[in-house]
Structure 1
Amino acid sequence: MPIKIPDNLPARALLEAEGLSLMADTEAARQDIRPLRIGLLNLMPDKPATERHFARLLGASPLQVELSLIQLSSHSPKTTSAEHMLAFYRPWEEVKGERFDGLIVTGAPVETLAFEEVGYWDELTQIFDWTQTHVHAGLAVCWGAQAGVRHFHGVPKHVLSKKCSGVFPHANLEPASPYLRGLADEIDIPVSRWTEVRPEDLPADGSLRVLLESEESGLCLLEDIRRRWLYMFNHPEYETGTLAAEYARDSLIDPTTPPPAHYFPGDDPTRAPRNRWRSHAHLLFANWLNEVYQTTPFEMDAIGG
C-alpha cells in the first residue's frame, strides 16, 4: 500500500521519481481500509529533508500509512519557511485531542545542552506523557531518543570529546525480536552525534532492552517494552549523501574535522560514498510498522486504554 502525504509536499515529486507509491486523499477515501495514523514530530532544522527521509521508509511498507506532520506549539523554526509550516504542519496543541497508531520523534540540534536548558523541554515532556494515553507506539531518533530515555527512565546523556560520525557496524543482539526480524547478525548504520547514552546508566530492572549495539559507537537501539517505545540513537533514515553534507558543513567551521569513519571509500572524501544501510533501514521500519499494525486497536478511541 502507498503512503498518504499532502499532494504539494516538496518531498512528493522526489519520492515519486524514486518509484515510491504515493496516495492522494481521493484515492485513500475509496479504499475500505483503516490506514495507520503515524505522526512525525519534526524537530530537525531542515524539515523538508527530514520529511523525505521518513516518508521514504514509511511508504515502502505494504501497509497503508497516513503521515501527519506535527510541530511544537512553543517553538517556531528559524530555518524552515513559515509558509511551509503553515501549509503542512499542525501544532501539538491542535492535535493533542486526537489519537495515533504511532509517533516518530526526530533528533534536534540541541544535544550538547542540558535537557532542562532546551527551550521546549517542558512541552516535549508533556508530549511524551501524552503518548501514554493517545499513541499506541513510539519511535524516537537521535536526540529525541536520548530525551525519551531521560524523561521516562532518568537516563543521562554524556558529551563526547569529539563528534561520533560515520557508518558503524552494529551487532544484532536480539534476532528473535519482531523489530529485528530478518536483519543480519551485523548491520551498518549511520551515526552523527556529539553525545551518547551508556549501558551502565540503563535501569537495573531490565525495563530497557538493548537490541542493537556497536563496539565503536556504543548503544544504538533500545526497546521500552512496557511503553511500546523504540529509542534509536543513530540515523538509519539518512540518505547516501547526508553525512557528506554534514562533513562539508562542519569542515567550513573547523578545517581539521575528520571525515566520517567507514563512510567514504578508502576514507577518501573525494570519492562518492556508497549506501550500505538502505536495506537495513527499510526492513527495520517495515518491522516497526508491522508490529504497530498487529497490536494497535482497530477502533482509534481504544488507543491508550
Structure 2
Amino acid sequence: MPIRVPDKLPAIDALKQENIYVMPAHRADTQDIRPMQVAVLNLMPDKITTEVQLVRLLSNSPLQIDIELVRLEHQTKTTSEAHLDNFYRYFSDIKDKNYDGLIITGAPLGLKDYEDITYWPQLKEVLDWADRHVTSTLFLCWAAHAAIYYHYGIKHDIRDTKLSGVYKHTKWESKAPIMRGFDDIFYVPHSRYGEVPINKLNKEADLITISGSNEVGAYLMQNKSGTRVFITGHPEYDRLTLHDEYTRDVDADLNPDIPVNYYPDNDPKLAPQKLWQAHGYLLFSNWLNYYVYQTTPYNLSQVSENIRTDNFAE
C-alpha cells in the first residue's frame, strides 16, 4: 500500500520522478481500510524539501499511511504562507486527536539554549501531548536532543567543530526490533554541533542506546517501551543535502570543513555517492511495523489506554 498525502502536495510530483508511488487523498478514500495515522511536526525552515525526504522513507511500507503535516503557531515562517495554509494544520487544531505515529523533525537551532527558542513552551506542550495521544514518536536530530533534555534533563554538549559527513555505525543493542535486518556496519549522514554524552545516557534507566560510533557518539536511542525513538543523524537526507549545506557555508565565508566520507577523493567538485538510503528505508519501516502498527489499537480513541510498558530490547 502507498502512503496518502494531501492532493497537490509538491512531494507527489517529486517522488513520482523517483518511481515512488504516493496516493493522493481522493484515491485513498475509495479503499476500505483503516490506514495508519502519522503526524509530522515539521520544524525545518525549508519545509517542502523535508516533506519530500520523509514521504520518501515512509513510502517503503505495505501499510497505507495517512500523513498529516503540522506546524506550531510561533515558528518563524520561511516557507510560503500559501503552502502552509494549503497543506499544514496548527498543532492547536489537532491536539484533541490521537495518532498512531508522530515524527518531529530537526531544526537549525543546535547552538541555542532551549529556553531561548521562541516556540520552546509550545514544543514542551507537544512533547507532553505525544505521550498521551501517540503510540510512538520518532525524533530527528535537534528534536531528539530537545526531547531527551525535556524528558530526562540531559543537556547536549556543543562540539568544537561541526559534525558533518557520512559516518559508519554499528549495532550496540542488536535485539531491539528497530535493528532487525540491519547489517553489522551501515552509514548515516550527520550535520550538527550538539552531542549528548553517552555516559549520561547510560545513567538513565529508561533509555536504551541502540547504535552509534566512536566518531558520532550515540545515534539511535529509545525508551524501554518504544513510545519514544531518538535519532541524532539524518537518514532522510537527499544525496546533495550535505553538499548544499557545505556550499552555503562556503559562500557565507564560514570556512567549513569538507563533509567527512562524502565526496569521492574528498573533492567537492565530484558528485557524492548515496550510501545511506537502504538504511533509511529499513529504519523507518521497522519503526512503523514494530513500534506503531503492531502495537497501536484499531480504535485510535484507545491510544492513551494502550501505552506500552514492555521492554523492547529484551
TM-score range, shorter chain: over 0.9
- Give the aligned partner of residue 311 of structure 2: none
Secondary structure of the equivalent of 2:294?
helix
Mapped contact 1:175–1:185 kept (Cα < 8 A): no
Partners of 2:73 and 2:92 in 1: how far apart?
Answer: 6
Instruction: Report deviation, 1:204.
Output: 2.0
Please list every run of 5 or more consecutive structure 1 residues that lacks an aligned counterpart in the other structure: none
Q: Which residue of 2 aligns with 1:88?
A: 87
Residue deviations 1:215-240, cap 9 Å, x none?
A: 11111011112361110000000011
CA offset at residue 175 of structure 1?
2.1
Structure 2 residue 255 is the aligned partner of structure 1 residue 265: no
TM-score by length of 1: 0.97
Work out the CA distance in 2 between the residues paired with 1:71 and 1:26. Answer: 23
- Unaligned ranges ≥5, structure 2: 306-314
CA deviations on 1:56-83 (whole Å, 9 max, x unpaired) are 0001111111100000022241x11111
Equivalent pair of 1:153/1:203 in contact (CA under 8 Å): no
CA distance in 2, matches of 1:235, 1:181: 19
CA distance in 1, matches of 2:160, 2:54: 30
Map of 1:104 onto structure 2 = 103
Alignment of 1:170-249 (within 5 A): 170-202=169-201, 204-226=203-225, 228-249=227-248
Q: 2:24 aligns to what?
A: 24
What is the CA–CA distance in structure 1 between the aligned matches of 2:270 and 2:204, rounded to whole Å? 47
1:244-298 Cα distance to aligned partner (Å, 9 max, x none): 0000001112353221000001111111000000100001100001011001000
Q: 1:125 & 1:227 partners in 2: Cα distance?
A: 19
Partners of 1:76 and 1:188 in 2: CA distance: 32
Give TM-score, length-normalised by structure 2: 0.94
Partner AA of 2:201 in structure 1: L
Runs of 4+ in 1 over 4 A off after TM superposition: none
How far apart in 2 are the matches of 1:223 and 1:235? 16
SS of corresponding position for 2:246? helix
- Tell me the secondary structure at the aligned position of residue 202 of structure 1: helix
Equivalent position amino acid for 1:283 in 2 = L
Tell me, yes or no, if the aligned pair for 1:207 and 1:225 is still in contact at 8 Å: yes
Give the corresponding residue for 2:41. 41
1:295 aligned to 2:299? no
Map 1:57-68 onto structure 2 (within 5 A): 57-68=57-68
Alpha-carbon distance in 2 for matches of 1:127, 1:64: 25
RMSD, matched Cα: 1.1
Between 1:206-215 and 1:144-153, the stretch displaced more is 206-215
Deviation at 1:203, TM superposition (A): 5.4
2:145 is aligned to 146
Asked if the contact 2:202/2:208 (under 8 Å) is kept, the reply is no
Q: 8 Å contact 1:103–1:135 — kept in the other structure?
A: yes
Aligned-partner Cα distance in 1 for 2:118–2:24 = 36
